[in-house]
Structure formats: C-alpha cells, structure tokens
C-alpha cells in the first residue's frame, strides 16, 4: 500500500455528489478543505478542520488556497482524424450550411478522404497530441469516436488505433464505434445497404474494441428507421449504444434513444418537449454540445433548462472534431455553456463531471468522494464560479491522474 498523499489548504474543494440524482443536487463544494489519496484513489475529502488525526502530522502538498475540482469528463469527441477543415469557414460565411457542405462531398467526407490516406503512425500521433492538449486543459476522461473512414476494414483500423492509445494513456479513454457517421461515397443514396454491411462486417467483431456503438441519426444522413434497425442489431450482439440525435432538426431521434434505452442521447439541440419527456421517462441521459451549436451558429441550442427541470441527467461535452467543434478543450466551453444554455455554474460543473461519467457508465469518475479515482485539477482561482465566467485562457494549473501530477 502506498503512503497516503495529503493535499491541504484547498480554498474550495469541489467534490461533487455522485450519488445524487438532480443536476444541482449533484454539485457539492466545501471551503478550506483537504483531500487524501491512497493507491490512486480518493480515500478522504472534507473540511480541513475535520482532517483525521492520523493525517495531520504527515507531509502534505500545499494547494495555497486555490480551487480543486474533479478532472473534467468529456463524454463526446471525435478526435481521431487527419487534416483539418479550415477552408469551411469561408464556405459558411458564404451561407453554405453544414449539411449542404456534406452533401457536396465536403464536411465529414473531406475528413474521411484525409483519414483514409493517413498512416497508423500519423493518426496515432495526431490523437495523442490532441489528448495532451485536452489534458493540459483539465480533461482527464475522454470518450473518442471513430467515424472518419467509413469502410469496415478502415473503421476496425481506427478502433485498433484507439485501443492502443487507450492502453498507453494514463487518461481514461472510452472508445465508441461510429462507423455509421455518414453514408460513404461508395454507398451514396444507399444508406441502409451501408448499415446492413456494417451489421455483418463490423458489429460482430468489436466487442473487445469498442465500449459503445453510435450513429448519426439525422434527416439527410441516417433516418430513425435505419438507425433503429442498426442499433437493435448492435444490442442483440451485446453492445451498448449511443445516438447523435436532433442536431440540426427535431427528427424524433430522442424518442428513439429513449425507446432503445440508449446509454445517452447526444446533441438534442433541436429536441422538443416530447423527446425531452421521453428521455426523462426512460432515464436516458442527454449529452449536450453547446460548442457545436454555437460554432455552427445555425440557431439550435439544446433546451437544457427543460431537460434539467424534467429530471434528465445533462452531460455537457466538447464534441471536439475537425468540422463542427474544432477544439480539444472542454474547459473553454464552460462560460458558453453557462451563457447559452442559461445554466448556473453548479449545473455546468455537474454536466462536465458526474453527468459526463454517467453518460459513459463510469462509476469511479467525475467526483472526489472516497472510492473515486484521484483525477483532479488545481485551478488559477479560488472560486468555482470563475471558470464559468472567464474565457479565452487556460485556467488549469495542475492536473493529477490517479494522484500523480501529470501537468
């Protein structure tokens, strides 16, 4: 057993309350606090005055009155890709929409062309560089999706690369197979044929590679019926599912996610009350992605207030990807999540920690209560509201993974 590591003089310690149900009830913070880590796990957290006597005379790390919080859990990214899409900025300025760019063979398909040509080495180096950036901005758990090859062989290659990255990274990486990210050029106009191909050539072979299967359920990409058929096959194979739903219009995707008891319904930017109530009834968490809605600026922002008021667990992710949210930093989205979704800081913190963990089905991340992984951040502030207020610079000063300082 390793000697306990003690962190004292924490100005504010955000522990969260991982057992609580609601968004605000999930938030917990205590001033003048201390944290004890043993064997990479939190074994004690609380007010400095309550620090057990056994720990009081041991050497400690002085947090100098700063804010300490759980590491951020980014429950939705697409950070395995080659190239970039900076040319799309001007296309959007000319009035081209996200789907128009995709339909003209650009968008996701332009990243697909670049990713198919990239070597394993370059793809691995690219994702590792992005992970390092994310880590320095406070993301300690990250879901990463495939989806930029769109052939069976190529998607399996991307899953293998992610598996290697997962094994070698000290961060907790969650792998999602998004082979159903778009209809590839080889199957243009035959989306269901492509899904049927994936059902036999990909889904039966990924039990050890992917933790979730995802699909872009959206008018113009994969319909609700097509998505249902694909996801039911995944479930029959014992795979857990997630969905991209209602990103650009309310297509009753959230209802489908509820119906299938998905692990999460993601985007929900245009989901109406019927969909929201279906998610609430089914207990399916939403992963909302305000960075994407803001970046594409097409007008749809998830109704976070309605989701929370009806009891849906609302995770907030970055959607980091080369098209609709080119970033690695979930922390940078904190002020926008607060402003654009009309959330108080406590709700934003819950969305980026415990609720993110819930959407990924992880029991030991997103909080700093005993038994949780000691993944935590020391911030350049003494106030948990500040990261939801100040934008444009990295406020994360130190990052710990399993109690070891890595940044």
Does 108 engage in binding with ligand NIG (CB under 6 A)? yes
CB contact at 8 A, 33 and 325? no
Does 247 engage in binding with ligand NIG (CB under 6 A)? yes
Can you read off the two tokens belonging to residue 72?
A: 């951020």
Query: Which residue in 321, 327, 353, 381 binds ligand NIG (CB under 6 A)?
Result: 321
Q: Which residues of 292-326 are buried (b: 16+ CB within 10 A; e: fewer)?
A: bbbbbebebbbbbebbbeeebbbbbbbbbbbbbbb
Binding piece for ligand NIG, criterion CB under 6 A, among 25-33, 105-113, 152-160, 164-172: 105-113
Distance CA 381, CA 48 (A): 19
Longest pairwise C-alpha distance within the chain:
70
Determine the size of the site formed for ligand NIG (CB under 6 A): 13
Does 319 engage in binding with Fe ion (CB under 5 A)? yes
Please say which residue, 92 or 197, places its beta carbon nearer to ligand NIG: 92
Q: Cβ 268 to ligand NIG, closest distance in Å?
A: 12
Q: Which does 300 bind (CB under 5 to 8 A by kind): Fe ion, ligand NIG, none?
A: none
Can you read off the two tokens belonging to residue 281?
A: 């009834």
Closest residue to ligand NIG using C-beta atoms: 323
Q: Cβ 102 to ligand NIG, closest distance in Å?
A: 8
Q: Cβ 108 to ligand NIG, closest distance in Å?
A: 4
Please say which residue, 321 or 381, places its beta carbon nearer to ligand NIG: 321
Which whole-number Å values give the CA distances from 97 to 125, 128, 147, 186, in the listed order? 31, 31, 21, 23
Please say which residue, 319 or 347, places its beta carbon nearer to Fe ion: 319
Q: Give the three-state DSSP class for 186.
A: helix
Burial (CB count within 10 angstroms: exposed 0-12, middle 13-18, buried 19+), residue 117: exposed
Does 323 engage in binding with ligand NIG (CB under 6 A)? yes
**Residues forming the site for Fe ion (CB under 5 A):** 319
Residues that bind ligand NIG (CB under 6 A): 78, 107-108, 111, 216, 244, 247, 292, 319, 321-324
């Amino acid at each position: 057993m390793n000697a306990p590591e003690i962190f004292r003089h924490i100005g504010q310690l955000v522990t969260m309350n991982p057992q609580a149900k609601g968004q605000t009830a999930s938030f917990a913070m205590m001033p003048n606090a201390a944290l004890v880590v043993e064997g990479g796990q939190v074994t004690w957290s609380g007010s400095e005055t309550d620090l057990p006597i056994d720990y009081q005379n041991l050497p400690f790390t002085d947090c100098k009155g700063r804010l300490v919080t759980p590491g951020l859990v980014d429950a939705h990214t697409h950070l395995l890709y080659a190239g970039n899409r900076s040319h799309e900025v001007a296309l959007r300025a000319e009035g081209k929409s996200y789907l128009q760019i995709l339909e003209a063979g650009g968008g996701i398909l332009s990243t697909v062309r670049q990713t198919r040509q990239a070597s394993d080495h370059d793809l691995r180096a690219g994702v590792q560089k992005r992970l390092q950036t994310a880590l320095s901005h406070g993301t300690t758990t990250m879901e990463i999706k495939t989806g930029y090859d769109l052939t069976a062989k190529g998607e399996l290659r991307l899953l293998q690369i992610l598996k290697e990255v997962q094994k070698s990274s000290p961060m907790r990486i969650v792998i999602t197979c998004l082979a159903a990210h778009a209809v590839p050029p080889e199957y243009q106009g035959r989306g269901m044929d492509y899904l049927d191909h994936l059902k036999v050539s990909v889904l039966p072979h990924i039990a050890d590679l992917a933790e979730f299967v995802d699909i872009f359920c959206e008018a113009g990409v994969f319909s609700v019926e097509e998505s249902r058929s694909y996801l039911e096959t995944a479930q029959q194979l014992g795979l857990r599912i997630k969905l991209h739903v209602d990103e650009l219009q309310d297509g009753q995707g959230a209802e489908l996610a509820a119906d299938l008891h998905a692990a999460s319904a993601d985007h929900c930017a245009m989901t109406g009350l019927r969909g929201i109530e279906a998610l609430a009834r089914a207990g399916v968490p939403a992963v909302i992605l305000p960075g994407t809605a803001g970046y594409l600026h097409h007008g749809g922002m998830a109704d976070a207030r309605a989701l929370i008021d009806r009891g849906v667990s609302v995770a907030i992710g970055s959607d980091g990807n080369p098209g609709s949210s080119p970033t690695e930093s979930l922390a940078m989205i904190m002020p926008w999540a607060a402003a654009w979704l009309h959330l108080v800081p406590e709700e934003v913190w819950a969305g980026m920690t415990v609720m993110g963990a819930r959407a990924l089905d992880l029991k030991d991340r997103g909080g700093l209560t005993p038994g949780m992984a000691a993944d935590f951040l020391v911030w350049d502030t003494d106030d948990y509201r500040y990261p939801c207020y100040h934008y444009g610079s990295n406020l994360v000063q130190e990052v710990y993974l399993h109690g070891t300082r890595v940044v």
